[in-house]
Amino acid sequence: MSIKAQLFITCLAEQFFPGVLHRMVGLLERLGVQVAFPEAQTCCGQPFFNSGYQTQARKLARKWLEVFGRTDGFIVSPSGSCVDMVRHHYPHLFPPGTPEHHLAEDTAARTFEFTQFLVQQLKVTDVGARFPHKVTYHASCHLLRGLTVRGEPKALLRKVQGLEFVPLSTEETCCGFGGTFSVIYPEVSQAMMEAKVKSIEATGAEAVVACDAGCLMNIAGGLQKVNSPIKAMHLIEVLTADRGAP
Amino acid sequence: MSQATVPIDFRTNAQHVPPKMPAAVQKATAKFLGTRAALVEALGNDLWQTLRQASHDLRLHAITHLDHCLERAERAVIKAGGHVHWARDAAEANRIVLEIARQHHVKKVVKSKSMATEEIGLNHAMEAAGIQVIETDLGEYIVQLKGMGPAHIVVPAFHLSKEEIAELFREKLGVDAPAEAEKLTQVARMKLREEFLSAGLGISGGNFLVAETGTIVTVTNEGNGRMCTTVPPVHVAIVGIDKIVPDWESLTVLLKVLARSATGQKITCYTQFISGPARTEAETGPKELHLVLLDNGRSRILQSPECRETLLCIRCGACLNICPVFNNVGGYTYGYPISGPTGMMFASQILGAEVAGGLAFASTLCGACNDICPVKIPITEILLHLRHRVVEGDEQERAVAPSLLRAGARVGSVALRTPWIYRLGSTLLKWFQAPLKHGGWLPKLPPPLNRWTMVRPLPVFASDFRAWWRTRSREAKGPQ
Amino acid sequence: MDSAREEILTKVRASLGRGPGSPVAPVPPTARVKSRTPGPLDAEIEQLFIEIGKLNGTTRRLVSKDDLKSALADLVKAEAVKKATCWTTPDLTTSDVAGILEALGVKIVSPQADKHLVAECELGVTGVDAALPETGTLLLRSSPERPRVVSLLPRVHLAILRRTVLRADLHQAFAEAKDAGYCVLVTGPSRTSDIELTLTLGVHGPKSLYAWLLDAP
């Protein structure tokens, strides 16, 4: 019986990185995963929750749980922060002991970020990828500290043929996105983004890899602003670089 | 600095950070983080995590039994010959201290570093009453001469160069000393010794208050804590009620984590344990000891189960050092003597949402502070609750966010959770962006998205997954 | 002010859902850490000295009264000591440190003299009530024979310790010290990095710390 994965595509990836989503589907299918897409999904509510609008976040959570709660199999997402929202904050939005709380806990327990899913659940680190370039890695904060996913992305990168990995001196330092932070305190966000870009440039890498659409929007924009040739890529793009889009 | 009533505008403050400040902050914090990391590594991570958990459990036990601990401490201080005063707020605390100063005809006060005294604006209150107050911690002394508050709770003057300090000493002290740390330190030592020896009152804070014996614990590297509490005939200690620990045994854990987290030392140079005034004159200590227990909003912080762990803080400054926001703006941006993540929690609660609610948002919630805090305060969880308090209100405060924003959130929420509106929105964004596209980017967008594009371009809206999926599914099924 | 006291305690209790007679749980076991098992005494002393050395303190071992005399002579010369003030504990009195210093031409100032006079002393001599090897820490109590200013005001602090004061760690030291009134843990000479993060010694407390182990009777 093959493994089933419900795609949790996330609002940001849907709007800005559709290619990542196409490639994620292709890769999962190649790994023998049966992929499904609950079409009624929208947004997990994280921007509301992080901005203090817990009432609104609860409504979005209810909707999300309504969509995904009735599915079976794993729920897989290319974004660490969205998965962190579901796994850590959803249960707390509902009073303990209530059916909603149970549903949140049960659904959260089978929700995984992409690299978590590949390495921890599928036990796969080598997907037969090839990307002969110099690459560095930025650890998204919610992935790193929220989900404690530290080694999985790098384990996958290590198995990519031809890839030369250079460590980023500020790998674990926040890039300055922080969701609504980036628009509430743009100057501070800018300072943090510029520091991140400088340290990426200092590695001599051709690409910087991350596992979160928010970080990627911020870092890619920062690199574009200084006309840098360095590409900001989602890990999935590196893992599928040697294939055309499916 | 007195209790702020004007809202703290973090954004405007951040826009006015002096150009040299970020580099100065980062130099200071990198040093402390480095020495801290070396000591943690030497201890071993397992032991360090055990110590953190123990420190957390101790402090939590203390504040969840705060009434009992405070009464126990009071009894012990009185038994040891000290006086205990209770201050509900800053004004009351200042009145109490002024009254003690008046009773002893005090003209000059020497003070060791105390965040509590900065919080209540003690210096201003005393100076308004014609009493000279001299900060004796070298960093505090320097910023006091400059007419400023501390830029970091552990190293208040880190942002000033030796040249600036030499110039300051020339201007304010009339002393011409070379711009060398050693020589400048000697100038301060000489000047301050005279003050220590002639002051009528010494004021300190308290790093901890031990309930078991009513002991005030102070830690300093310089020795000014000892000077202020030994040399003048009267000692007044202002200690927040949150600083209590149950017993001396607690300190065997807390002293292990405090200095390591603050300055990367195994233990601070001088750790004093003051139980009442000197028992005999021959001991050469103060004849009189007054302990002022300060509430000033702490009992209200205690009320909120989500936020009460704010009070576990032992003021080590590690969260400041690791915070990427702090590292780019420095302490003054927060508009409160305690800055960084712990300052954000404190200020927004002590000053209230209306004055300091914006501080709860001055974080990307990266969580680095949670991991470094020696007493395991769930800082980002508390900040999340404080944001909720600002925009939706809770049992303690009503919402203060502008009603327009709150209405916008409700509208946005409906749009985002209604699939057809969400899908329509995605499509409309792709259409309306057409004239603004530049390659694969949107470099300039109208408000409110201009707040994004003023810093960097936005990628173009490009949603196509649903259509792609549907096509693919149809093709997979084959011709019907 | 009584009303302030009542108001604060009432608020605290209300916040915690406690009343005046509410039970007090014991400190949880997770909040305690194990005490350290000390090694052999000579190794402990060795470690103590190493740690003090790391903090720019100077250590020395004395095995006879003659040793003490010559060490004091060296110190007086090296630190240009003209005036000194001393603890008057039985141990220091027996070793006659004050007498030896006077014989070296040093004026002995009473610790109870006017503090300006005490502050003029270059040297303060104390004993040590407990020594902690892990951190090179010296615990000094306070009593009529142990005036606090002796280890604080002079530029040089000489602490003379006996092997019997070595303690495993703070657990042990605290058990003995907590009911004895004031005490201070001294770990190295006074220091600061407040100016450009550059370490300087001798801010307000002593600039030099000497720790001598006296193994003579």
At residue B3, the pLDDT reads 57
CA B455, B457, B460 angle in degrees (round to 5)? 150
CATH for the stretch A134-239 = 3.40.50
The string of pLDDT tens digits covering residues B264-306 is 999 999 999 999 999 999 999 999 999 999 999 999 999 999 9
d(C-alpha A166, C-alpha A154), whole Å: 11
At residue B117, the pLDDT reads 95
CB–CB of C126/C150 below 8 Å?
yes
Query: Do B461 and A221 lie within an 8 Å CB cutoff?
Result: no
| Torsion angle defined by CA atoms of residues B111, B201, B239 and B135, in that order, rounded to the nearest 10 degrees | -10
CB–CB of A214/B445 below 8 Å?
no
Q: Which residue of B has its CA nearest to A53?
A: B388
The string of pLDDT tens digits covering residues C8-65 is 999 999 999 999 889 999 999 999 999 999 999 999 999 999 999 999 999 999 999 9
Closest CA to B326 of B110, B111, B5, B33: B33
The residues in C 45-64 lying below 8 A from B, measured between CB atoms, are none
What is the CB-side half-sphere exposure of residue C14 using CA atoms within 13 A?
10
Sheet strands (E) in A142-238: 164-165, 207-210, 231-234
Q: Is the pLDDT reported for residue A115 higher than 90?
A: yes
Of B226, B280, B308, the CB nearest to C144: B280
Q: Is the pLDDT reported for residue C163 higher than 50?
A: yes
Q: Which residues contact B431 (CB under 8 A, 6 or more apart)?
A: none
At residue B154, the pLDDT reads 82
Query: Do B417 and A59 lie within an 8 Å CB cutoff?
Result: yes
Q: Which residue of C has its CA nearest to B304?
A: C15
Task: Tell me the nearest-neighbour CA distance from A146 into chain B, angstroms.
Answer: 8
Q: Which helix (H) or strand (E) holds B204?
A: strand B201-204
Task: Tell me the nearest-neighbour CA distance from B141 into chain C, angstroms.
Answer: 10
Phi and psi torsions of B219, nearest 5°? -125, 130
CB–CB of B228/B270 below 8 Å?
no
Task: Characterise B315 by phi-psi region: left (phi > 0), alpha (psi -120 to 50), beta (else).
Answer: left
Of C1, C197, C203, the CB nearest to B86: C1
pLDDT band at A1, cuts 50/70/90?
Answer: low
Judging contacts by C-beta atoms under 8 Å, the chain A residues touching residue B457 are 221, 224-225
Judging contacts by C-beta atoms under 8 Å, the chain B residues touching residue A217 are 458-459
Task: Using a threshold of 3 CB pairs under 8 A, tell whether chains B and C touch.
Answer: yes
Q: Is the pLDDT reported for residue A109 higher than 60?
A: yes
The string of pLDDT tens digits covering residues A194-229 is 999 999 999 999 999 999 999 999 999 999 999 999
Locus of tokens 């370490």: C199
Task: Tell me the nearest-neighbour CA distance from B229 into chain A, angstroms.
Answer: 41
For CATH 3.40.50, list the domain ranges present in chain A: 134-239
Helices B21-43 and B248-263, interaxial angle, to 10°? 130
ω before C206 within 30° of 0 (cis)? Answer: no
Of B31, B189, B266, the CB nearest to C197: B31
Query: Do B197 and C116 lie within an 8 Å CB cutoff?
Result: yes
Average pLDDT over residues A65-91: 97
Q: What is the CB neighbour count within 10 angstroms for residue B398?
A: 10
At residue B271, the pLDDT reads 97
pLDDT band at B480, cuts 50/70/90?
Answer: low
d(C-alpha B262, C-alpha B316), whole Å: 4
At residue B2, the pLDDT reads 43
Q: Which residue of C has its CA nearest to B138?
A: C194
Q: Is the pLDDT reported for residue C1 higher than 60?
A: no
Average pLDDT over residues A90-101: 96
Query: Do B252 and C146 lie within an 8 Å CB cutoff?
Result: no
d(C-alpha A9, C-alpha A170), whole Å: 28
At residue B4, the pLDDT reads 64
Identity at B96, one-letter amino acid code: I
At residue A246, the pLDDT reads 59
Average pLDDT over residues A139-145: 97
| Interface predicted TM-score of the whole assembly (ipTM), two decimals | 0.96
At residue A38, the pLDDT reads 97
| Torsion angle defined by CA atoms of residues B371, B375, B376 and B377, in that order, rounded to the nearest 10 degrees | -110
Q: Which helix (H) or strand (E) holds B67?
A: helix B66-79
Q: Which residue of A has its CA nearest to B421?
A: A42
Q: Is the pLDDT reported for residue B441 higher than 90?
A: yes
What value does the mean pLDDT of chain B take? 94
Query: Do C185 and B270 lie within an 8 Å CB cutoff?
Result: yes
pLDDT band at A244, cuts 50/70/90?
Answer: low
Q: Is the pLDDT reported for residue A239 higher than 70?
A: yes
B·C CB contacts under 8 A:
254
Q: Which residue of B has its CA nearest to A142?
A: B366
What value does the mean pLDDT of chain C take? 95
Query: Do B462 and A18 lie within an 8 Å CB cutoff?
Result: yes
CB–CB of B322/B372 below 8 Å?
yes
Query: Do B371 and A145 lie within an 8 Å CB cutoff?
Result: yes
Judging contacts by C-beta atoms under 8 Å, the chain B residues touching residue C195 are 138, 142, 157, 160, 162, 165, 181, 184-185
d(C-alpha B177, C-alpha B193), whole Å: 17
Average pLDDT over residues A77-83: 97
Judging contacts by C-beta atoms under 8 Å, the chain B residues touching residue C137 are 267
Q: What is the CB neighbour count within 10 angstroms for residue B6?
A: 7
pLDDT band at A17, cuts 50/70/90?
Answer: very high
Q: Which residue of C has its CA nearest to B84?
A: C1
CA C106, C111, C114 angle in degrees (round to 5)? 100
d(C-alpha C66, C-alpha A39), whole Å: 92
Average pLDDT over residues B102-120: 95
Query: Do B388 and A52 lie within an 8 Å CB cutoff?
Result: yes
Task: Using a threshold of 3 CB pairs under 8 A, tell whether chains A and C touch.
Answer: no
| C122 touching chain B per CB within 8 A | no
| C115 touching chain B per CB within 8 A | yes
pLDDT band at C216, cuts 50/70/90?
Answer: confident
| Residue B178 DSSP label | -
Of B138, B185, B246, the CB nearest to C27: B246
Closest CA to B104 of B131, B134, B124: B131
| C144 touching chain B per CB within 8 A | yes
Locus of tokens 């979005």: A60
Query: Do B416 and A176 lie within an 8 Å CB cutoff?
Result: no
d(C-alpha B110, C-alpha B224), whole Å: 9
Of A25, A41, A54, the CB nearest to B392: A54
d(C-alpha B379, C-alpha B367), whole Å: 8
Query: Do B454 and A186 lie within an 8 Å CB cutoff?
Result: yes
Please, what are the domains in chain C?
A: 40-190+202-214 (3.40.50.10420)
| Torsion angle defined by CA atoms of residues A190, A196, A200 and A201, in that order, rounded to the nearest 10 degrees | 40
Task: Tell me the nearest-neighbour CA distance from B30 into chain A, angstroms.
Answer: 12
Identity at C90, one-letter amino acid code: P
Judging contacts by C-beta atoms under 8 Å, the chain A residues touching residue B410 are 56
Judging contacts by C-beta atoms under 8 Å, the chain B residues touching residue A177 are 364
Please, which chains are in contact with A (at least 3 CB pairs closer than 8 A)?
B
At residue B150, the pLDDT reads 85
Task: Characterise B431 by phi-psi region: left (phi > 0), alpha (psi -120 to 50), beta (else).
Answer: alpha
Judging contacts by C-beta atoms under 8 Å, the chain B residues touching residue A43 are 416-417, 422
Of B139, B252, B285, the CB nearest to C142: B285
Question: What are the angstrom distances between the C-alpha of B472 and each of A77, A237, A246?
Answer: 20, 20, 10
Please, what are the domains in chain B?
A: 21-299 (3.40.50.10420), 409-477 (no CATH)
Average pLDDT over residues B230-246: 97
A·B CB contacts under 8 A:
179
Task: Tell me the nearest-neighbour CA distance from B89 into chain C, angstroms.
Answer: 9
Q: Which residue of C has its CA nearest to B193?
A: C204
